[in-house]
Amino acid sequence: MSIETGERSSQLHVRPIQDSDRGLWASYWKEYNTFEGKILAAASPENTKARWHELHDPNSSIKGIMAIVDAKPIGFAHYILKPETADLKDSLYMEDIYVSPAFSNRGIAKAMIEWQRQEANRQNLTRFYWICYDNNPNAQAVYDKIAKRAERVGVRGQIYVLDLSKPVGQKPATPTLQKVSVRKRDYSQLKPSPLESQPAECKSSQIQRARRTFPEP
Task: Tell me which of 211 and 14 has the higher pLDDT.
Answer: 14
**Does residue 110 belong to any structural domain of this protein?**
yes
**134 is in which domain, residue-wise?**
2-162
**Does residue 184 belong to any structural domain of this protein?**
no
What does the mean pLDDT of the chain come to? 83
* Confidence class for position 213, pLDDT limits 50, 70, 90: very low
Beta bridge partners of 209: none
pLDDT digits (tens, 9 = 90+) for 28-39: 999 999 987 888
Does pLDDT of 111 surpass 80?
Answer: yes
Does pLDDT of 188 surpass 90?
Answer: no
**Does residue 176 belong to any structural domain of this protein?**
no
Tell me how many domains the chain contains.
Answer: 1
**Does residue 151 belong to any structural domain of this protein?**
yes
Does pLDDT of 60 surpass 60?
Answer: yes
Q: Of 54, 27, 22, which is closest to residue 39 (Cα–Cα)?
A: 27
Does pLDDT of 207 surpass 70?
Answer: no
**Does residue 214 belong to any structural domain of this protein?**
no
pLDDT digits (tens, 9 = 90+) for 75-106: 999 999 998 888 889 999 999 999 999 999 89
- Write the DSSP assignment of the chain as a string of letters: -EEEETTEEEEEEEEE--GGGHHHHHHHHHHHTEETTEE-GGGSHHHHHHHHHHHH-TT-SEEEEEEEETTEEEEEEEEEEE--TTSSS-EEEEEEEEE-GGGTTSSHHHHHHHHHHHHHHHTT-SEEEEEEETT-HHHHHHHHHHSEEEEEETTTEEEEEE-TTS-TTPPPPPPPPPP---PPP--TTPPPPTTTTS-HHHHHHHHHHHHHHS---
**Does residue 28 belong to any structural domain of this protein?**
yes
Mean pLDDT calculated for residue range 50-75 = 95
What is the pTM for the complete model shown? 0.74
Q: What gap in Å lies between CA 146 and CA 152, rounded to an integer?
A: 18
Q: What gap in Å lies between CA 62 and CA 193, rounded to an integer?
A: 81
**Does residue 70 belong to any structural domain of this protein?**
yes
Give me the pLDDT at residue 174, please.
Answer: 47
Domain with 135 in it: what CATH number? 3.40.630.30
**Does residue 180 belong to any structural domain of this protein?**
no
Mean pLDDT calculated for residue range 64-69 = 97
